A and B are shown apart, each in its own frame.
Chain A
Amino acid sequence: MISRFARHRMAMAGAVLLVLVCLAVILAPLLARQGADAVNLFAQNQRPGAGHLLGTDSEGRDIFARTLYGGRVSLIVGVAAVLISLGIGILLGGIAGYFRGGWDWVIMRITDVAMTFPPVVIILTVAAIIGPGLWNTVLIIGLLNWPIPGRLVRARILSVREYEYIDACRATGASSWRILFRHALPNAVDVIVVTGTLGVANAILLEAGMSFLGLGVQPPTPSWGNLLSAANQLNVLVSYPWQWVPAGVAVVITVLSINLIGDGLRDVLDPRAGR
């Protein structure tokens, strides 16, 4: 299976890109000479150059450092939010698929609503009500994005529960919960891995959007989204493109690499789907 993934050229390109992004973000203290919050009022709005690789912002902070440290925040938000939504999605999807009946109906109607209604609208409304902040952002994205993994897990469990080995488990007297978690859900791992991977890309985009509007991660903590929000001021957008373009490029490269990996994983795990 690993060799199939390795032969998938686009997925490998994605994996290499993502490793580079992760390395850059982890090694931020070694790569950037300045800290993310080092204010220098004598070096405001400087062009990219020798002292500051990508220039400085309106408070003289180094853009290169802020973009790298911002990546830490954006990636953490993406992964943490997906862990929450996967957890809820697996639990509810598993229950709905395995036990069927009333709970299945209720859970599926909730996912219907969540999937017809624009997620950005709900997320922005909730963010405005609860208030911005790093962990609120994680919670909002995580708690509102379980329907997609939930539906996929349910669909898989619906077919898995008809297999004979599940009957065999039941015959040995295992409880329903034990069968669901120990025997049925492991058969949904491929679905969970693919939707989780693509979910991280989606969560990073949502964080960027929320922070761009000032409803997500708050400065001075840098994140790719709130670095991009500098471009909300027309003079920054026009005169200081180096202050917002790097964060934008970082978002696109990261999301692109994750999407490529997710797509490759889907091809590898299910050769029939897509081409």
Chain B
Amino acid sequence: MWSYVLRRIGISIPILLLITVGLFGLLQLTPGGPLDALAPPEAPLSPQARAALGRALGLDQPLPVRYAEWLSEAVRGNLGYRSDNGEPVSQAIGSHIGPTLELMGTGILIGIIVGILLGVISAVYQYSIFDMVLTVLAFLGISLPAFLAGLLGLYFFSIQLGWFPSGGITTPGTAPGLGQNLMHLVLPALLLSINQVAQIMRYTRASMLEVIEQDYVRTARAKGAGSGQVVVHHALRNALLPVITIIGASIPNLVGGAVFLEAIFSWPGMGQLFLTAVQGRDYSLIMGMTLILAIVVLLANLLTDLAYAAADPRIRYGT
């Protein structure tokens, strides 16, 4: 098991490096580059002063040297400083990552629980009205972009019906508390999970249908096990194997959805910080956030692989 974990981490590190090299190159090779982002060409700055500023920042060094410099600092935990207010990038990320993990974690959890539940029901009652309605809804869910779900949800549930607060993580002027935080969390987390519920449901259904037809399930039935017991104890466990992979594969998409939902619900997380960074062309912030994001995504992938290995002994002991 441990050698398996180590091997997976070993594969992840080159991918991580490749991502940072790609982004670094892209950011540096753009017209203008970091110097123009810091001091716009129209700023009253003599060419000599510009050059001096570039030298002071190490921008006259060749690209590979600058990348090595960035990497060696990043490994030691220094991701540079934001260009808008000079705050250390690591500190900015630290203060924004909590709300994002809260939002995404809740979204994933809802997605997994509701998705698997509906998928199983829809497979067990194949071709019933319930199954057909769910299939149509799943297609709608897959076709609904997160930001549109966010807009519609905000319009109907927060503004028209007034059930939920319309944004932020707490209401200003009231005592912050867990209950209040949850009220702010429910709507964006539910909207974020729509896409995942739809995807996980479809895969669970397909996978359940395949497993239900297998001989060992028929054997269990023949031995007199109740149909509920057959579904839960015999079929579900094997049916969930491919679903685990889908959960892992849907995480990149979930991150994208979170960016939009954070923007729409003024959720003070990484998504909003990222949009600020992108719109202000804040190079250190973009690089730092991308690095952290890549690590989080790769960790999530690792967890998915481990869950798969834990559920399927063939993987653990195979090649």
Say yes or no: is B139 at the interface (Cβ < 8 Å to chain A): yes
Closest to B248 in A: A116
Q: Is A237 in contact with B151, judged by CB distance below 8 angstroms?
A: yes
Give, as a whole number of angstroms, the nearest-CB distance from A85 to chain B: 17
Give, as a whole number of angstroms, the nearest-CB distance from B147 to chain A: 5
Q: Is A118 in contact with B293, judged by CB distance below 8 angstroms?
A: yes
Say yes or no: is B51 at the interface (Cβ < 8 Å to chain A): no
Q: Is A213 in contact with B263, judged by CB distance below 8 angstroms?
A: yes
Q: Is A201 in contact with B206, judged by CB distance below 8 angstroms?
A: no
Q: Is B206 in contact with A255, judged by CB distance below 8 angstroms?
A: no
Q: Is the interface of A mostly helix, strand, loop or mixed?
A: helix
Closest to A126 in B: B26
* CB contact under 8 A between A116 and B297, given known A125-B286, A248-B148: yes
Say yes or no: is B140 at the interface (Cβ < 8 Å to chain A): yes
Q: Is A116 in contact with B143, judged by CB distance below 8 angstroms?
A: no
Give, as a whole number of angstroms, the nearest-CB distance from B163 to chain A: 16
Q: Is A117 in contact with B259, judged by CB distance below 8 angstroms?
A: no
Closest to A253 in B: B143
Q: How far is the CA of A120 from the CA of B255 in the complex (A)?
A: 8
Q: How far is the CA of A186 from the CA of B228 in the complex (A)?
A: 47
In the complex, chain A residues whose CB is within 8 Å of the CB of B140:
252, 256
In the complex, chain B residues whose CB is within 8 Å of the CB of A260:
139
* Contact digits for A80-115, partner B, Cβ 8 Å, 1 yes 0 no: 000000000000000000000000000001101101
Q: How far is the CA of A11 from the CA of B209 in the complex (A)?
A: 21
Q: How far is the CA of A113 from the CA of B135 in the complex (A)?
A: 32
Closest to B135 in A: A10
Q: Is A128 in contact with B281, judged by CB distance below 8 angstroms?
A: yes
* Contact digits for B274-317, partner A, Cβ 8 Å, 1 yes 0 no: 11001101000010001001100110010000000000000000
Q: Is A117 in contact with B281, judged by CB distance below 8 angstroms?
A: no
Q: How far is the CA of A234 from the CA of B198 in the complex (A)?
A: 29
A residues 42-97 in Cβ contact with B at 8 Å = none
Say yes or no: is A146 at the interface (Cβ < 8 Å to chain B): no
In the complex, chain B residues whose CB is within 8 Å of the CB of A130:
30
Q: How far is the CA of A8 from the CA of B148 in the complex (A)?
A: 29
* Contact digits for A197-215, partner B, Cβ 8 Å, 1 yes 0 no: 0000100010011001101
Say yes or no: is B5 at the interface (Cβ < 8 Å to chain A): no
In the complex, chain A residues whose CB is within 8 Å of the CB of B298:
116
B residues 1-21 in Cβ contact with A at 8 Å = 14-15, 18-19
In the complex, chain B residues whose CB is within 8 Å of the CB of A110:
18
Q: How far is the CA of A251 from the CA of B146 in the complex (A)?
A: 12
* CB contact under 8 A between A238 and B159, given known A117-B297, A124-B278, A212-B260: yes
* Contact digits for B136-154, partner A, Cβ 8 Å, 1 yes 0 no: 0001101111011001101
In the complex, chain B residues whose CB is within 8 Å of the CB of A29:
none
Q: How far is the CA of A241 from the CA of B154 in the complex (A)?
A: 12
Say yes or no: is B98 at the interface (Cβ < 8 Å to chain A): no
In the complex, chain A residues whose CB is within 8 Å of the CB of B148:
208, 228, 248, 251-252
In the complex, chain A residues whose CB is within 8 Å of the CB of B139:
10, 256, 259-260, 263
- A124: contacting residue among B14, B145, B249, B259, CB under 8 A: B259
In the complex, chain A residues whose CB is within 8 Å of the CB of B155:
237-238, 241
Q: How far is the CA of A255 from the CA of B140 in the complex (A)?
A: 9
In the complex, chain A residues whose CB is within 8 Å of the CB of B27:
129
In the complex, chain B residues whose CB is within 8 Å of the CB of A241:
155
In the complex, chain B residues whose CB is within 8 Å of the CB of A256:
139-140, 143
In the complex, chain B residues whose CB is within 8 Å of the CB of A201:
143
* CB contact under 8 A between A120 and B256, given known A125-B290, A129-B27: yes
Closest to B294 in A: A117
* CB contact under 8 A between A209 and B142, given known A113-B19, A115-B252, A238-B159: no
Closest to B166 in A: A234
Closest to A257 in B: B143
* Contact digits for B116-149, partner A, Cβ 8 Å, 1 yes 0 no: 0000000000000000000100011011110110
Closest to A249 in B: B148
* CB contact under 8 A between A248 and B152, given known A124-B259, A274-B206: yes
Q: How far is the CA of A212 from the CA of B259 in the complex (A)?
A: 12
Give, as a whole number of angstroms, the nearest-CB distance from B136 to chain A: 8
Closest to B281 in A: A128
Give, as a whole number of angstroms, the nearest-CB distance from B131 to chain A: 11
Q: Is A109 in contact with B143, judged by CB distance below 8 angstroms?
A: no
Say yes or no: is B22 at the interface (Cβ < 8 Å to chain A): yes
In the complex, chain A residues whose CB is within 8 Å of the CB of B255:
118, 120-121
23 contacts between A and B (CB under 8 A): A116-B252, A116-B294, A117-B252, A117-B293, A118-B255, A119-B256, A120-B256, A121-B255, A124-B259, A124-B275, A127-B278, A128-B279, A208-B147, A209-B147, A209-B256, A209-B260, A215-B278, A237-B155, A238-B155, A248-B151, A252-B140, A274-B206, A275-B209
* A contact set with B: CB distance below 8 Å: 10, 109-110, 112-113, 115-121, 124-130, 201, 205, 208-209, 212-213, 215, 228, 231, 237-238, 241, 244, 248, 251-252, 255-256, 259-260, 263, 274-275
Ranked 3 nearest A-B pairs via Cβ: A120-B256, A118-B255, A256-B143
Q: A124-B275, A256-B143 are in contact. List 10 more A-B contacts (CB 8 A).
A: A119-B253, A121-B255, A124-B274, A124-B278, A128-B278, A237-B151, A237-B155, A251-B148, A259-B142, A274-B206
